[in-house]
């Protein structure tokens, strides 16, 4: 005898409900696995050691007659080992056109990972060298009215030495002894630095470096003459000290 039609309908409905519930449970399980994995990865990323820099050089220089650029070179502290995950900050909204290892090896996808306190933070991994390099265009011309060069930078973390460097026009001179000569560029533009010891992360450091433009660097320049005189005097004192000492007597 065949079963009543109402029984077949109830049986089909129960099977359908059970099937839907099973598929729903399976879907929840499949979704939960990648969520759990992603959460674990995020936790691991938060525990990544960010390497400390021993020296960070921040330099401004002209790109051409219209644009200025900023160059950041940051060297790992002595105790840090490779590979090293590093972070460098620039003013928020800056156009970064290079970020990588010194020598031209650029990090993949050089985009900021976050913004904080008016800074864009870039991250990368040093694998072959100990110096990271970043370049971006400046929004404002750093040349002041004195004339002077205005240099400012905010390191993201503490750094043993922060060098605030400016490149000056060729035939320029900086006579203030607080600033250290850092050599000249390919077109003869001298660079001078103000060195900050034990710079604090998150603190802005600013300096205005006055300079003399169109300085005569020939032998007739009084500054050059004075420098030559000083060198000659020091040399004469050294000669007198070496050859002018009294020889010990043979009897002694």
For residues 166 and 193, give the distance between their C-alpha atoms in angstroms, rounded to a whole number. 7
Question: Going from the N-terminus, what domains does the chain have, and what CATH number goes with each?
Answer: 53-210 (2.60.40)
Give residue 66's pLDDT.
80
206 vs 42 pLDDT, higher one: 206
pLDDT digit string, tens, across residues 125-167: 999 999 999 999 998 878 887 789 999 999 999 999 999 999 9
Cβ-Cβ contacts under 8 Å for 43 (sequence gap 6 or more) = none
% of the chain beyond a pLDDT of 70: 67
For residues 53 and 77, give the distance between their C-alpha atoms in angstroms, rounded to a whole number. 5
For residues 75 and 207, give the distance between their C-alpha atoms in angstroms, rounded to a whole number. 22
Give residue 244's pLDDT.
57
Beta bridge partners of 86: 124
Place of tokens 């050059």: 224
* For range 65-87, the mean pLDDT: 95
215 vs 235 pLDDT, higher one: 215
For residues 252 and 241, give the distance between their C-alpha atoms in angstroms, rounded to a whole number. 21
| Nearest of 73, 87, 195 to residue 129 by alpha carbon | 73
Alpha-carbon dihedral sign for residues 188, 74, 192, 97: positive
Question: Confidence class of residue 109 from pLDDT cuts 50, 70 and 90?
Answer: confident
Q: In this structure, which long-range contacts are made by residues 114-117, counting pairs with CB atoms below 8 Å and at least 24 apart in sequence?
A: 117/202
The secondary element (H helix, E strand) that includes residue 13 is helix 5-46
The secondary element (H helix, E strand) that includes residue 165 is strand 159-167
In this structure, of 31-45, 177-191, 208-222, the range with the lowest mean pLDDT score is 31-45
And the tokens for 32?
Answer: 């939960």
For residues 196 and 222, give the distance between their C-alpha atoms in angstroms, rounded to a whole number. 31
pLDDT digit string, tens, across residues 47-75: 899 999 999 999 999 888 788 999 999 99
Give residue 211's pLDDT.
93
Give residue 232's pLDDT.
59
For residues 81 and 102, give the distance between their C-alpha atoms in angstroms, rounded to a whole number. 17
And the tokens for 187?
Answer: 């077109």
| Residue 105: Cβ within 10 Å count | 13
How high is the mean pLDDT of the chain?
79
Q: Between the CA of residue 100 and those of 49, 106, 134, what are the distances in Å?
A: 18, 4, 7
């Amino acid at each position: 005898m065949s079963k009543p039609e109402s029984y077949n309908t109830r049986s089909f409905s129960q099977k359908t409900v059970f099937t839907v519930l099973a598929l729903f449970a399976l879907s929840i399980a499949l979704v939960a696995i990648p969520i759990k994995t992603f959460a674990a990865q995020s936790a691991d990323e938060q525990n990544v050691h960010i390497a400390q820099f021993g020296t960070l050089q921040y330099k401004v220089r002209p790109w051409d007659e219209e644009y200025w650029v900023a160059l950041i070179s940051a060297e790992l502290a002595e105790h840090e080992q490779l590979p090293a995950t590093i972070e460098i900050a620039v003013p928020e909204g800056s156009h970064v056109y290079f970020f990588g290892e010194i020598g031209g090896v650029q990090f993949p996808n050089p985009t900021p990972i976050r913004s904080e306190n008016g800074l864009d933070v870039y991250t990368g991994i040093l694998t072959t060298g100990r110096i990271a390099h970043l370049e971006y265009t400046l929004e404002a011309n750093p040349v002041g009215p004195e004339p002077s060069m205005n240099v400012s930078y905010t390191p993201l973390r503490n750094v043993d030495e922060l060098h605030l460097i400016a490149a000056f026009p060729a035939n320029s001179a900086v006579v203030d002894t607080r600033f250290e000569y850092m050599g000249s560029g390919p077109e003869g533009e001298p660079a001078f630095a103000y060195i900050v010891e034990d710079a604090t992360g998150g603190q802005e450091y600013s300096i205005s470096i006055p300079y003399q433009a169109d300085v005569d660097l020939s032998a007739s320049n009084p500054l050059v003459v004075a420098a030559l005189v000083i060198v000659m005097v020091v040399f004469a004192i050294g000669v007198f000290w070496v050859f002018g000492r009294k020889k010990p007597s043979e009897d002694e």
